[in-house]
Amino acid sequence: MSSSILATGTAVPPHKMSQSEALAMFQDFACVNDRQRRLAKVLFDRAQVDNRFTFVPHQSAYQWCLDEQTPPQKITTGGKLTKAPNSIPQVVAGASRGLSTGQRMRLYDLYASDLAIASAKQAIANSDRSTGDITHLVTVSCTGFASPGVDINLIQRLSLSSTVQRVNVGFMGCHGAVNGIRTAMNIANADPTAVVLVCCVELCSLHCRFQWGPDDNERIIGNALFGDGSAALIIANTNGLQNGETSDWNIIDTGSVLIDDSQASLRWDIGDHGFEMILSSDIGDRIESALSNWLSQWLQQRDLSLAEIDFWAVHPGGPKIISSVQSSLNLSEQQLSVSLDVLRRYGNMSSPTVLFILEEFRKAISKSTARSTTDPRHALVVAFGPGMVAEIALLNTSSKHNVET
């Protein structure tokens, strides 16, 4: 049995924040002296992010500094913030920790489903299937909790069958999309009639830090990197494709490795004022020392080598992660250019990010006019998450999309 990705959909929220705006906001909130302001600028410049998208106008966070105990009435009544406040209040740097985790979760419940539905609608529209064909739903998220939540809203607002079977992949971090693909692959491989909707949605900006404590250097990096986004896939058994139906990618296999002595290198903790991402300075060394040998052996067991991977969808957790993967696997800048471009345009969106990269590859392939009768071309999705764990998915192009390099 084998399974295929029939279509992809992506979505970002409507509010765009430049890196210079993100830096200015963080300096206003958290930097209590000139030294911190200078260091913040260095960290934000190194992030290689130009823009990211947020579920509310970023200026709203200034009001949250003032209303952390009694949040704006719009949040508690269900009204949505669709435009920046008329005037930006003055805040005292370091004085506020921002909204509580409970308040941030209410915002997640208020906004996450809209974003997930937008990407799911696009994936369904890009496929040859209808909402009535979907038999299973896999939701992926690590930035919020609500029950009933995104899965139920997808079923109700997309008019999916009430008998759709659900799986939630929760709190797995940036490699969550690979776990979503693995879950859908196993469902589709076991049932030739299954059609699985996978939806990854993250509101990373919910967890921006408002303070910079003496031991917080490894916790504030997320402010320079993270944005909001969603991506969805339609996955089905390859043998169950309808007449004339084609796929974007065939799913060959997935893999996973727990990197030794790395639990402190990448963490995602629940704090009283949001979830706390910790990226330690040794994360690159851990990746470089562990990735190459394991991945080479894993590919060799499938009669492939690193040199035979045509598309590298490496999750851009940050420039350090990208450069470490490049060094470990001896990849060129060109091979990682799409990952860096997605980071630059959207920031790190956590789990949906690698699916944005796959979508860019699909667009490039579909635009090519060259055709070939050679073997399908291979793509490898590589992502890292708390543990530290490397997760991978091996794909290849369908015969429709075989193109010359």
- Residue 156 shares a structural domain with residue 85: no
Q: With respect to residue 220, please indicate whether it lies within any of the assigned structural domains.
A: yes
Q: With respect to residue 114, please indicate whether it lies within any of the assigned structural domains.
A: no
Query: pTM (2 decimals)?
Result: 0.94
CA distance 278 to 259: 16
Looking at the structure of the chain, the number of domains it has is 3
Six-digit token string for 386: 């708390």
pLDDT of amino acid 68: 56
CA distance 7 to 246: 9
For residues 209-230, give the mean pLDDT. 91
Predicted confidence band of residue 88 (pLDDT cuts 50, 70, 90) = confident
pLDDT of amino acid 77: 45
* 345-395 pLDDT tens trace: 999 999 999 999 999 999 998 887 554 445 689 999 999 999 899 999 999
Strand partners, 251: 3, 395
Domain containing 161 — which CATH number?
3.40.47.10
Out of 218, 240, 262, pick the residue that ends a domain. Answer: 240
- Residue 75 shares a structural domain with residue 90: yes
404 pLDDT exceeds 50? no
- Residue 188 shares a structural domain with residue 174: yes
- Residue 187 shares a structural domain with residue 326: no
For residues 311-326, give the mean pLDDT. 94
The helix/strand/coil state of 53 is strand
Q: With respect to residue 169, please indicate whether it lies within any of the assigned structural domains.
A: yes
- Residue 38 shares a structural domain with residue 88: yes
- Closest to 205 (Cα-Cα) out of 354, 350, 395: 350
* 55-85 pLDDT tens trace: 999 998 888 887 655 444 445 445 677 788 8
| Burial label, 335 (beta-carbon count in 10 A; 0-12, 13-18, 19+) | middle
Out of 240, 267, 288, pick the residue that ends a domain. Answer: 240
pLDDT of amino acid 324: 95
Six-digit token string for 156: 């109700």
Beta pairing, strands 378-385 & 309-314: parallel
pLDDT of amino acid 226: 97
Q: Which domain holds residue 319?
A: 249-401
- Residue 254 shares a structural domain with residue 397: yes
Please identify every residue annotated as catalytic: 174
- Residue 215 shares a structural domain with residue 356: no
